[in-house]
């Protein structure tokens, strides 16, 4: 029975499947751009709301309203990019539902902020929780990537967005402390935790980012001397006399705006990578095997093959010409090598993503059962890891496993 026709059909099906997945990722890329814009707008609104709640000089209702309008426009744009259907199941839909549910509370939150009916810390927590749900959509998109280049681009974008969000929380927390004229011990610890979290996120970004984005990041990675000075004042409990909250806010806002430019570059790079992958697959469609690496050397091992007089069972491309299509074998061998390289690289990246998910689940568990915020949960995990001389994700994995064994409910 000649199976060559079947092989050709399955090879064509593989190309069609890969092309479909890449086109889905291209659509996701547009969504990620929308999420990025919405997160940045919410970060700006959170900062303005913090200054307003702290009654910082120079903060007006007009400024607050302008930030809210920016966020509303970004929200409309993101919703317009939500896919009507995805083939990868319920997890994406669940994350999207949670994010949209959190966003539905913006009107109530804004009304409470306008009336100054909330402490700044509580308002900041509400904004941060909404942004956290949006960031989880990035995680889901990264977890569905099948091409290693796409996975790298998505992980670089997500890690950078996470670091930028921590920088946004630093801006809001610092503005509140300088507006109050002092930083409590809890605020000092939280700032230190935020700085450490930024270092981790940006270190992950550096591992997966493209060269152009890395060059742009290195040009602005180090904070200015004035910012570092204010950080030392905030984290050490030194007197804040003479430091205006608006000055801190302006310095950190300039840094965040510069980060947004790099974030946009990363999103564009992801789309460029996706289009290149689509072009590569499209160009190899059809039965033109000559464009698929014919002539590249390869070897097969055939055990107990009596027709081989030499080579100890090693069969080269020329030796199989009478029995199988040489071009088809070359194509299949090239495909196998490429898939193996992809599998190896994806395994590394998926391990990193899996560890990040374990940490997120453990933080959600601690937040639920100890009634603490995300930064406090992270601080608890770090302390547990240091006490046990283990890595944070190992402690997180053990904590999640224990909660499953005792059937403790989890969020996230």
Question: Is 234 a domain residue?
Answer: no
Residue 306: the pLDDT is 40
Q: How many domains does the chain have?
A: 1
pLDDT (tens digit, 9 = 90+) per residue, 347-406? Answer: 666 666 677 778 888 888 888 888 888 778 888 888 888 777 788 888 888 888 777 655
Q: How far apart are CA 365 and CA 335, in angstroms?
A: 43
123 — pLDDT class (breaks 50, 70, 90): very high
**Distance, CA of 93 to CA of 100 (rounded, Å):** 10
Res. 236 pLDDT band, cuts 50 70 90: confident
Three-state secondary structure along the chain?
Answer: CCCHHHHHHHHHHHHHHHHHHHHHHHHHHHHHHHHHHHHHHHHHHHHHHHHHHCCCCCCCHHHHHHHHHHHHHHHHHHHHHCCCCCCCCHHHHHHHHHHHHHHCCHHHHHHHHHCCCCCHHHHHHHHHHHHHHHHHHHHHHHHCCCCHHHHHHHHHHHHHHHHHHHHHHHHHHHHHHHHHCCCCHHHHHHHHHHHHHHHHHHHHHHHHCCHHHHHHHHHHCCCCHHHHHHHHHHHHCCCCCCCCHHHHHHHHHHHHHHHHHHHHHHHHHHHHHHHHHHHHHHHCCCCCHHHHCCCCCCEEECCCCCCCCCCCCEEEHHHHCCCCCHHHHHHHHHHHHHHHHHHHHHHHHHHHHHHHHHHHHHHHHHHHHHCCCHHHHHHHHHHHHHHHCCCHHHHHHHHHHHHHHCCCCCCC
pLDDT tier for residue 280 given thresholds of 50, 70 and 90 = confident
**9: which residues sit within 8 A by CB, 6+ positions away?**
none
Q: Does the pLDDT of residue 179 top 70, yes or no?
A: yes
Is 80 exceeded by the pLDDT of residue 242? no
Residue 74 maps to a domain: yes
Q: What is the pLDDT of residue 405?
A: 56
Task: Select the more confidently predicted residue: 273 or 37.
Answer: 37
User: Is 224 among the domain residues?
Assistant: no
pLDDT band with cut points at 50, 70 and 90 for residue 342 = low
Position 307 scores a pLDDT of 36
User: Tens digit of pLDDT for each residue in 146-156?
Assistant: 567 777 777 78
Q: Which of 230, 175, 173, 174 has its CA nearest to residue 55?
A: 175
Q: What is the pLDDT of residue 89?
A: 56
Least confident range from 149-158, 189-198, 246-255: namely 149-158
Per the structure, the complete domain to which residue 60 belongs is given by 1-146
Give the model's confidence band at 193: pLDDT under 50 very low, under 70 low, under 90 confident, else very high. Answer: confident
Q: Is residue 153 part of a domain?
A: no
Asked if residue 307 is part of any domain, the answer here is: no
- Tell me, rounded to whole angstroms, the distance of Cα 334 from its chain centroid: 31
Any domain includes 108: yes
Residue 37 binned pLDDT confidence (cut-offs 50, 70, 90)? very high
pLDDT band at 251 (very low <50, low <70, confident <90, very high): very high
* Weakest-pLDDT range from 172-176, 226-230, 233-237: 233-237
Residue 154's contacts (CB-CB under 8 Å, 6 or more residues apart) are: 32, 138, 141, 142, 145, 270
Q: What is the mean pLDDT of residues 279-303?
A: 47
Q: What is the pLDDT of residue 69?
A: 96
What per-residue confidence (pLDDT) applies to 225? 83
What per-residue confidence (pLDDT) applies to 285?
55
pLDDT value for 156: 84
251, part of any domain = no
Give the mean pLDDT of 285-308. Answer: 39
The confidence band for 298, taking pLDDT boundaries of 50, 70 and 90, is: very low
The mean pLDDT value of the chain amounts to 76
Query: Tell me, what's the pLDDT at 286?
Result: 55
pLDDT confidence tier of residue 291, bands split at 50, 70 and 90: very low
Mean pLDDT of 245-269: 92
Q: Which pLDDT does position 372 carry in this prediction?
A: 84
CATH number at residue 121: 1.20.120
């Amino acid at each position: 029975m000649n199976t060559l026709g079947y092989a050709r059909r399955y090879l064509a099906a593989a190309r069609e499947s890969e092309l479909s997945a890449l086109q889905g990722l291209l659509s996701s890329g547009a969504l990620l751009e929308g999420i990025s814009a919405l997160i940045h707008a919410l970060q700006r609104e959170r900062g303005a709301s913090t200054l307003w709640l702290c009654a910082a000089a120079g903060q007006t209702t007009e400024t607050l309203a302008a930030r809210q309008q920016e966020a509303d426009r970004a929200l409309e744009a993101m919703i317009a990019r939500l896919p009507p259907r995805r083939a990868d199941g319920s997890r994406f839909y669940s994350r999207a539902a949670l994010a949209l549910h959190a966003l539905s509370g913006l009107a109530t939150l804004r009304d409470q902020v306008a009336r100054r009916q909330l402490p700044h810390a509580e308002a900041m927590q509400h904004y941060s929780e909404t942004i956290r749900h949006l960031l989880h959509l990035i995680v889901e998109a990264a977890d569905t990537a099948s091409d290693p280049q796409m996975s790298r681009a998505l992980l670089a974008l997500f890690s950078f967005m996470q670091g930028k969000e921590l920088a946004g929380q630093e801006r809001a927390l610092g503005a509140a402390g300088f507006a109050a004229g002092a930083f409590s011990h809890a605020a000092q610890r939280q700032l230190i935790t935020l700085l450490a979290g930024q270092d981790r996120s940006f270190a992950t970004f550096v591992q997966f980012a493209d060269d152009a984005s890395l060059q742009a990041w290195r040009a602005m990675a180090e904070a200015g001397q004035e910012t570092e000075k204010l950080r030392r004042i905030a984290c050490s409990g030194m007197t804040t006399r003479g430091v205006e909250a608006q000055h801190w806010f302006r310095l950190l806002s300039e840094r965040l705006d510069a980060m947004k430019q790099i974030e946009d570059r990363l999103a564009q790079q992801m789309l460029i990578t996706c289009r290149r992958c689509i072009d590569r697959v499209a160009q190899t469609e059809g039965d033109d095997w000559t464009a698929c690496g014919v002539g590249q050397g390869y070897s097969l091992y055939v055990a107990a093959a009596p027709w081989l007089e030499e080579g100890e069972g090693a069969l080269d491309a020329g030796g199989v010409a009478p029995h199988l299509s040489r071009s088809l074998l070359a194509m299949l061998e090239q495909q196998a090598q490429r898939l193996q390289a992809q599998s190896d690289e994806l395994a590394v990246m998926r391990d990193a993503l899996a560890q990040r998910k374990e940490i997120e689940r453990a933080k959600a568990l601690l937040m639920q059962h100890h009634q603490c915020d995300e930064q406090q949960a992270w601080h608890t995990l770090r302390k547990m890891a240091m006490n046990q001389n283990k890595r944070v994700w190992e402690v997180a994995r053990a904590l999640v496993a224990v909660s499953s064994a005792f059937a403790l409910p989890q969020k996230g």
